[in-house]
């Protein structure tokens, strides 16, 4: 795929450059709680603006129902982008209507505008090729060139990700080029030992990537809510812990495959349990205990990996040359259940190998728990996109930039 450096070499002064970013930041009462994704697109936006382009930034945020919804407005993200750029950013209150055209027409070379949430238009996410194409046509009218830099959305066959690049000269931004380079290090000529730590709530979200990694990784460390389906497959009582009973047969097969293929698939040996889920708003202290993983009381739920598991997992990460981590080890948003996730993050910080934090909740945990982002080899902006790449899937947004 052609990169932004090639575009800049050809010259962009005065051209309208459409940057498909990922500004899908978490909001609490209209306030951004993690601006990592905005900061990730800064190098691309700044390089284009410095070269004299008229930069039109577009993104989705959340899952509105194909119509305007103030709760999902990109205005806070546009304001934060302006703060980080140190320059005013125009904001259009629609996607392809009069406000968007006025904002773009009003740009001078080197200036930036953000248009409203793309998902406020049903054409963005439509499964109908014609409807998506019509929206892409209207977006194309706002620009002369397309730069794809929203890695967190490249696994979606959406108008601004898949259809729009076909209508304009297209290039990969710095973020996408970096993300793809990192993922190639995880799939081609991998330095070993290769250790993968997987957590998060649902084992069903990770089955396909586990299937692929059983033939590639040397060790798989399992934590988070998904671990309890594995423990159930071992015949253990998991109490009222998060469980996907229908996935137990598949997980049982994976445990058998791992043993046959010589892949270490490690499960928690102890867990932190409680009778009730913690209040994540007040973060009030909870009553909890540590029990062996095969002795979870029937009326309690596992909310974090225990201290012996933390030590075990840290030891299994210590000599790794390559590490991929996706998904927290417990309910890290509450201080009583953050120690497992902290332990994995700290092990990556202390590693001499190439460490990748696979976006989503893992990236949020790193920032929430106060770790220096520069201490990791790479923090991805796209958890779902990273997983689908590792699953071996063709990602529509990358395919659109390659032709």
At residue 132, what are phi and psi to the nearest 5 degrees?
-65, -40
At residue 195, what are phi and psi to the nearest 5 degrees?
-115, 135
Q: Choose, from 185, 202, 257, 275, the residue flagged as catalytic.
A: 202
Give how far the C-alpha of residue 117 lies from the chain's centroid of Cα atoms, to the nearest Å. Answer: 18
Q: Distances in Å between the alpha carbon of 270 and those of 145, 197, 221, 228?
A: 54, 17, 14, 11
- The β-bridge partners of 266 are 221
340, 375 contact by CB (below 8 A): no
Instruction: Please name which of 387, 388, 403, 346 lies closest in space to residue 370, comparing C-alpha atoms.
Output: 346
In DSSP notation, 162-198 reads IIGGGGS-EEE-HHHHHHHHHHHHHHSS--SSEEEEE
Query: Annotated catalytic, 360?
Result: yes
Q: How many Å apart are CA 88 and CA 93, to the nearest integer? A: 16
149, 134 contact by CB (below 8 A): no
At residue 130, what are phi and psi to the nearest 5 degrees?
-65, -45
Query: Annotated catalytic, 37?
Result: yes
Q: How many Å apart are CA 333 and CA 195, to the nearest integer? A: 25
Query: Annotated catalytic, 132?
Result: no
Which residue numbers belong to the known binding site for ATP? 206, 302, 333, 359-362
Q: Choose, from 173, 382, 383, 384, the residue flagged as catalytic.
A: 384
**For 224, left (φ over 0), alpha (ψ -120 to 50), or beta?**
left
Q: How many Å apart are CA 313 and CA 386, to the nearest integer? A: 22
Which residue numbers belong to the known binding site for substrate? 22-24, 37, 60-63, 119, 156
376 DSSP assignment: S
151 DSSP assignment: G
For helices 36-50 and 174-187, the axis angle rounded to 10 degrees is 120
Q: Choose, from 360, 382, 383, 397, the residue flagged as catalytic.
A: 360
Query: Annotated catalytic, 202?
Result: yes
Whether the CA torsion 112, 378, 152, 181 is positive or negative: it is positive
Q: Choose, from 15, 20, 37, 138, the residue flagged as catalytic.
A: 37
Q: How many Å apart are CA 48 and CA 73, to the nearest integer? A: 24
Active-site positions read: 37, 202, 360, 384
């Amino acid at each position: 795929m052609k990169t932004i450096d090639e575009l800049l070499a050809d010259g962009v002064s005065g051209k309208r450059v459409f940057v498909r970013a990922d500004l899908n930041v978490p909001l609490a009462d209209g306030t951004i709680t993690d601006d990592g994704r905005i900061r990730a697109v800064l190098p691309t936006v700044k390089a284009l603006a410095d070269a004299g382009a008229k930069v039109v930034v577009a993104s989705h945020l959340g899952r509105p129902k194909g119509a305007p919804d103030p709760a999902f407005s990109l205005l806070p993200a546009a304001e934060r982008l302006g703060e980080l750029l140190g320059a005013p950013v125009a904001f259009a209150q629609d996607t392809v209507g009069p406000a968007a055209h006025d904002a773009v027409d009003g740009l001078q070379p080197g200036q930036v505008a953000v248009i409203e949430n793309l998902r406020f238009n049903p054409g963005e996410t439509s499964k109908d090729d014609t409807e998506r194409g019509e929206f892409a046509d209207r977006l194309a009218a706002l620009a002369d060139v397309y730069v794809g830099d929203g890695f967190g959305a490249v696994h979606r066959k959406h108008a601004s990700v898949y259809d729009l690049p076909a209508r304009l000269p297209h290039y990969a931004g710095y973020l996408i080029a970096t993300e793809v380079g990192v993922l190639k290090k995880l799939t081609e000529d991998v330095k070993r030992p290769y250790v993968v730590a997987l957590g998060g709530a649902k084992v069903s979200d990770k089955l396909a990537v586990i299937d692929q990694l059983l033939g590639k990784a040397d060790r798989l460390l399992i934590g988070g809510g998904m671990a309890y389906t594995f423990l159930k497959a071992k015949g253990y009582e998991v109490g009222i812990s998060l469980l996907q009973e229908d996935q137990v047969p598949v997980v049982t097969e994976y445990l058998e495959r791992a043993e046959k293929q010589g892949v270490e698939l490690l499960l928690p040996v102890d867990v932190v349990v409680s009778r009730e889920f913690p209040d994540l708003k007040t973060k009030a202290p909870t009553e909890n205990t540590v029990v062996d993983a095969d002795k979870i009381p029937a009326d309690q739920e596992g909310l974090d990996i225990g201290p012996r598991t933390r030590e075990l997992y840290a030891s299994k990460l210590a000599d790794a040359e390559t590490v991929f981590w996706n998904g927290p080890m417990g309910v890290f948003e509450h201080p009583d259940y953050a120690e497992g996730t902290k332990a994995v993050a700290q092990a990556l910080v202390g590693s001499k190998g190439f460490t990748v934090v696979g976006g989503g909740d893992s990236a949020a945990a790193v920032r929430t728990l106060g770790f220096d982002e520069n201490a990791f080899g790479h923090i991805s902006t796209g958890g779902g996109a990273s997983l689908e790449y590792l699953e071996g899937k063709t990602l529509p947004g990358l395919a659109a930039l390659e032709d």
